[in-house]
Amino acid sequence: MRKDKLEHYKELLLKEKQEVLNELLETDESAKALLEDESHNVNDSIDLATSTITQNLLKTMNQKNQQKIMAIEAALRRIGENGFGVCISCGSNIEESRLEAIPWTTKCMKCKSDEQKKKHQIL
């Protein structure tokens, strides 16, 4: 994937992460205290979106946001490791329209729908 594309998705991911964190900070005082504590330790003016999400902070989130934050962090790592946008199941490139909607996805549309079909069969 081209570098400017990667930058674009990185921005989308960071923005999404920031939104989850903002929502958390607005609704949860203890999370706010935690994050402030940690930013003092690292840097005076740490950027919320790029700060590391710690286990403590994760614990204060609901499961949905937890999974989302972890998926976003994993996607950011893949950008750093040049593995972003590749389906973990079949190895082909994930559709750009899909990445645009869900930049933290790890599977292409075909594998995702195969997976859902399988789940359906089990149930």
Binding residues for Zn ion restricted to 70-89, rule: CB under 5 A: 87, 89
Cβ proximity to Zn ion: between 22 and 92 the closer is 92
Q: Coil, strand or helix: which one is 41? A: helix
**Dihedral of CA 70/72/73/74: which sign?**
positive
Q: Which of 33, 74, 90, 101 binds Zn ion (CB under 5 A)?
A: 90
End-to-end CA distance of the chain: 37
With binding defined as CB under 5 A, does residue 108 bind Zn ion?
yes
Closest listed residue to residue 74, CA positions, set 1, 17, 114: 17
With binding defined as CB under 5 A, does residue 111 bind Zn ion?
yes
Binding residues for Zn ion restricted to 7-46, rule: CB under 5 A: none
Task: State both tokens at 119.
Answer: 């789940």
Give least dist CB 91 to Zn ion, A.
7
**Would you tell me which residues interact with Zn ion (CB under 5 A)?**
87, 89-90, 108, 111
